[in-house]
């Protein structure tokens, strides 16, 4: 097994699992897709950027497939989930990595920015979770992992819409965890910052280390695995301790 902390674990805890990664064309989403495949899973990578999902899938190999999806469109999401299950021969879970962030101060936030942020971050998360959960409920088992932001717990000045939508995602996860527990479906969230993909947040954490996308991957692999079978409704901070230290990572200018 390789060392942890920025390096992907070789633990193969997802053998036989078929998993959907939304937002899979992004830096963290693509890293998650590669990590799940390395842990033994078949992966469907979905994103608005269809060409990029195909590239990510090709870089992984035959156990991966790329799909197009508009997470704000109900029909698109339902079709994506059905296609993923068909292509992979099943569906056992979701890692939702899609998000939109356009920082604005409260009094300067226009309605279009508010609506787009909520539409992508909250409505999109709801639609993806609902479509996957309907499939998982039929088989009586499955896992949802939602990537979100610490601003959902501690609002970030100058980023009203993202903070509000992140709070909604965390509450959505709690509600799903409670309602879907009788169906054998678990739901948890990961707060994945700071990483080297977010240079403005570095190096302010108690470990004084830059986060890596692979740190998020390792957390996702664990939460999706049977080793986390007694964990649901939790928010896992993969942030070098920044949330406990109470740092404000993006001060208002």
CATH code of residue 72: 3.40.50.720
In a domain, 3, yes or no: no
**What pTM was estimated for this model as a whole?**
0.87
Is 247 assigned a catalytic role?
Answer: no
What confidence score (pLDDT) does residue 242 get?
Answer: 72
Say what the pLDDT of residue 245 is: 63
Give me the number of domains the chain comprises: 1
Residue with tokens 């301790």: 241
Is 208 or 99 the better-scoring residue by pLDDT?
99
Rounded to an integer, what distance in angstroms lies between the CA atom of residue 228 and that of residue 223? 5
Distances (CA, A) of 204 to 100, 109, 131, 147, 249: 23, 28, 38, 21, 7
Mean pLDDT within 68-85: 98
Tell me if 8 is assigned to some domain. no
pLDDT at 203: 47
Cβ distance 209 to 203 under 8 Å?
A: yes
Measured between alpha carbons, how far is 21 from 37 in angstroms, rounded to an integer? 11
What pLDDT shows up at residue 152?
A: 82
CA angle in degrees (0–180, nearest 5) for 55-59-62? 100
Q: Is residue 6 part of a domain?
A: no
> Does a structural domain hold residue 76?
yes
Q: In angstroms, rounded to a whole number, what is the distance separating the alpha carbons of residues 166 and 149?
A: 6
Q: Cα separations (Å) of 4 from 9, 94, 215, 237? A: 6, 23, 8, 16
pLDDT digits (tens, 9 = 90+) for 167-221: 999 999 999 999 999 999 999 999 986 545 444 444 466 666 667 788 999 999 9
Does 2 reside within a domain? no
Domain assignment present for residue 92? The answer is yes
Report pLDDT for 251.
41
Assess if residue 1 is contained within a domain: no
115, 165 contact by CB (below 8 A): no
Query: What domain range includes position 79?
Result: 18-245
19, 121, 152, 162: the catalytic one is 162
Tokens 């101060």 map to which residue?
105
In a domain, 33, yes or no: yes
What's the mean pLDDT when you consider all of the chain? 88
CA distance 128 to 106: 28
- Expressed in angstroms, the distance from the first to the final Cα of the chain is 44
Q: How many CA atoms lie within 13 A of 27 on its CB side?
A: 10
Residue 7 has a pLDDT of: 45
């Amino acid at each position: 097994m390789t060392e942890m902390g920025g390096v992907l674990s070789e633990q193969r805890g997802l053998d036989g699992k078929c998993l959907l990664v939304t937002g899979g064309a992004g830096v963290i989403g693509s890293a998650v897709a590669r990590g799940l495949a390395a842990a033994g899973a078949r992966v469907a990578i979905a994103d608005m950027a269809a060409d990029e999902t195909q590239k990510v899938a090709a870089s992984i190999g035959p156990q991966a497939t790329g799909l197009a999806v508009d997470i704000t469109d109900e029909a698109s999401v339902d079709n994506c989930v059905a296609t993923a299950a068909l292509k992979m021969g099943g569906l056992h879970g979701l890692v939702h990595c899609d998000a939109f962030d356009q920082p604005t101060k409260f009094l300067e936030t226009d309605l279009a920015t508010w609506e787009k942020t909520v539409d992508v971050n909250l409505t999109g998360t709801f639609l993806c979770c609902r479509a996957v959960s309907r499939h998982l409920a039929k088989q009586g088992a499955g896992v949802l992992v939602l990537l979100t932001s610490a601003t959902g717990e501690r609002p970030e000045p100058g980023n009203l819409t993202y903070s509000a939508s992140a709070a909604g995602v965390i509450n959505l996860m709690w509600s799903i965890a409670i309602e879907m527990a009788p169906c054998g479906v678990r739901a948890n969230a990961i707060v994945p910052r700071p990483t080297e993909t977010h240079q403005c947040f570095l190096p302010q954490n108690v470990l004084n280390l830059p986060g890596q996308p692979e740190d998020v991957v390792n957390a996702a692999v664990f939460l999706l695995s049977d080793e986390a079978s007694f964990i649901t409704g939790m928010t896992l901070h993969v942030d070098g301790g920044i949330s406990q230290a109470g740092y404000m990572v993006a001060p208002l200018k």
